Amino acid sequence: MGRLDGKVAVITGAASGIGRGTAIRFAGEGAAVVIADLNVEGGEAAVRDCKEHGGRAVFQKTNVESEADIKGAIDRAVREFGKLTTIFNNAGLGGAVGTIEETTSENWDRTLAILLRAVFLGMKYSAPEMRKAGGGSIISTASVAGLAGGRGPHAYSAAKAAVINLTRSVALELGKDRIRVNCICPGLINTPLVNRRIPGGEQTVAQMMSNIQPIPRVGYPDDIANMALFLASDESEWVTGQAMVVDGGLTAGGRIFDQQARPPINVPNNFAGPSFENLPPDPQTKR
């Protein structure tokens, strides 16, 4: 018996990183999964990974900036697997970076569209389907950057703080329907969203971030997938409205790089886009 037997989940941003790790974990625990992502190649590979772990999965090309695409991913779950019990609003990006004066309104708006508006839409369209199913679990990716200043760029931090309070607000509304609403606040996680933009990639990030939090290693997608699994399972049926911090102890007293000590990051036009987007050549690695 898997911990998610009979569950049907939509996971946005599931072609790589936290989303992909969670999709594989969900599939291995018995859930049917809709991989919702813009990255076709990565999404189809994630489907294969889910099936290799004994689960059922389909890919749905999804741009979370599009209301129709988010609704389409939820409709695909119901059409393909008969119902929806879980959504993981996970798709993300670094978004607008730089000082407040350098931040353009266009970059600000796109950051919030992907990190906040998409979460709202995932909640909006999943709620009626979960009500039909007799209940469910809405999970969203927030961040420790939403809990305190200095842990992320301005727009990113603002969006993640809003996700935390939106989670609480919607949990109050949907509790009567046995729909749980929670979010996860990851700490420093070694994913393509981070390591593709830092010279030296995954290995450099692992070394650089290993001693920032009390537990002396960087976080990995599986660390977040484990929490998402708990929140998606019936084990969490009395947990709602919570921001679950998974950060190796960072918020308990870890240290964060100051701006001057941060490593060089490859961010064209002051906007860190999706992890699969092509980047300009890195002069340090000659790639």
Q: Which residues does the annotation mark as catalytic?
A: 156
Say if CB 156 and CB 94 are below 8 A apart: yes
CA distance 168 to 261: 35
Q: How far apart are CA 78 and CA 80, in angstroms?
A: 6
HEC string of 118-164 equals HHHHHHHHHHHHHHHCCCEEEEEECCHHHCCCCCCCHHHHHHHHHHH
Angstrom distance (rounded) from CA 187 to CA 55: 28
- CA angle 50/27/10 to nearest 5° reads 95
Euclidean distance between CA atoms 287 and 283, whole angstroms: 7
Contacts of 31 (CB under 8 A, 6+ apart): 2, 4, 5, 7, 8, 9, 55, 86, 232
Count other C-beta atoms under 10 Å from residue 138's C-beta.
26
* Alpha helices in the chain, H assignment, sequence order: 17-28, 40-52, 67-81, 105-112, 118-132, 154-174, 192-195, 201-208, 221-232, 250-253
Sign of the torsion formed by the C-alpha atoms of 164, 162, 272 and 152: negative
Instruction: Measure the CA–CA gap between 61 and 86, rounded to whole angstroms.
Output: 18
Q: What backbone phi and psi angles, to 5 degrees, belong to 84?
A: -135, 125
